Each structure stands twice: as C-alpha cells, then as structure tokens.
Structure 1
Amino acid sequence: MSQAAGEPSEGWQLLDDQLCFALYAASRAVTARYRPLLDELGLTYPQYLVMLVLWEQDSISVRDLGTSLQLESSTLSPLLKRLEAGGLVRRERRAEDERSVAIRLTEAGASLRERAARVPLAIGDAMGLTSEQDAMAKQLLRLITANVTNG
C-alpha cells in the first residue's frame, strides 16, 4: 500500500526517525568539536563565522555580512562589538554613504587567519567524510535551507 503525500509514515513519532533531530544533534556535536579549537583563538563559533567572511573579503557592509551569515542585525551587532573590543575588527562609516558601516579586519584580525588555518582541517578529520560525502552533505543541507526558507 502506497502512502499519500503529506501523510506521516509509520513510526513518525520516533525520535530517531526525525530529520530535524539528526540535524540538531549533528549541529551540536560539530559546534562542540569547534569549541576547544576556537577557545585557543579567543573566538566563539559565531565570531569565527564573521572572521571567515572577513578573511575572504576584508571590507564588507554590516548588511552584506548579515546576509552572508543569515543573521539579523540585532544578533550581528553584539558579535561585531565584541570582535571590535578584542581588536580584531573595526567599524568605519563608508565615505560614499555615511549611513552604511563597513567592517574591516585590523592587523591582529588578519594575522589570526594563520592560526585559524588548522581549524577546518581538524573539523574535517573529526567528521571523517570523504570529499564526495562532504560535497553531498553540503549540497543537501543547502537544499534543505533553501526549501525551508522559501517554503
């Protein structure tokens, strides 16, 4: 007997059958694995994500940074204040638009990149995925994000 679209499958109430729980557990496990590595850098995981964007593109508007990280400005502002207080970034008004604020790396923020280079390698080793599995996992997670965001 086939199942109609939208009907729950047998066992739908079992925790282990919930994709959302698998995502939640994986996210918590990966974030926990990051913690000791990032503690050595003096960063939290969200701060690390900000730094990744800035290491890729040194000057970025707060708005574009929020878009890249899928964060609201109310979440992003305290992160940026802490990074600025730590001497890793600076906020500057853009000359072409005084209402827009650009985030730039300081020398200390730029030099932290070298120390952070081992983080992705350590996390990749911990995940134990082949390069094909890694690419497939990212592709599926991006699809889920897009579908849930747009649906």
Structure 2
Amino acid sequence: MSAPHVIRGSVVLPEAELVWRFSRSSGPGGQHVNTSDTRVELSFDLGRTEALPEVWKRRALERLAGRLTGGVITVRAAEHRSQWRNREAAAVRLTALLAEATAPPPKPRRPTRVPRGINERRLREKKQRSQTKRGRSPGGWE
C-alpha cells in the first residue's frame, strides 16, 4: 500500500508494523474465487507499537479490550473481488477503528433546568388540546 495510514493529525501507522495475511474468499467471483487469495486479514500489535502516543495507546487498549487477542487487533475484508480493494478496505477499517478508540472522552454534560415559561406553555397547550378533544365527544346533546 502506498498511501500512509493516518489515524488523526500527524499520527501515522507504520507499514512495517502491519501484518497482512491473504486467503481464499467466498462470495462473488465464480471460478476466480477458487484460484486467488482475495480475502485480507490485517493485524496490528497495539500493545507493542511505538507509533501511537502513550495516552492514545492506553485509551485504545482499554476501549478495544474485547477485540484484542494478546494485544493484537485484526481486521478482515472480503467484500471485493480484488485483493487490492480488500487491502484498501481493511486499512480504512483499521484506521477508523483506531481513530475512534483513541479519541478523547467527551466533555461532561452540564446539567441544566427547563425554564418555567416552557413548562407552563407545554401544560397550557396540553389543556387546550384536551378541551378540543372533549368538545368532540357527543356528551351534551341529549
């Protein structure tokens, strides 16, 4: 792969730390599928990498704990007929996964109160709607 795999900002996954495996893929392709290794598995050792800042690495290890096998994260791609497109898909998937896992936590929500005017207006509209519906019933015609 020629393009660098940018996670966020200037942080890039080094090609030397990526491990590619290829195997036969099921799915579309006819006889071509039986002869070519188009399924791609891309592995990245998150536990040993020096490419990520230490804070990001800790955050990613914590958030991706369920997907890791011995500190290694693996992504598969087999939706395309060509190995090249599956390689691109796997690389994009891995960088998106790492970008999401290394993102800083969201700011805590500041609790706010509902203004009194909004609550009063809501109750007034409910009462008005209730009167409209009550006026539709055939109650007072006898």
Length-normalised TM-score, structure 2:
0.22
Q: Which structure: greater strand fraction?
A: 2
Q: Which structure: greater helix fraction?
A: 1
Length-normalised TM-score, structure 1:
0.21
Greater radius of gyration (CA): 2
Structure with larger RCO (C-alpha < 8 A, sep 6+):
2
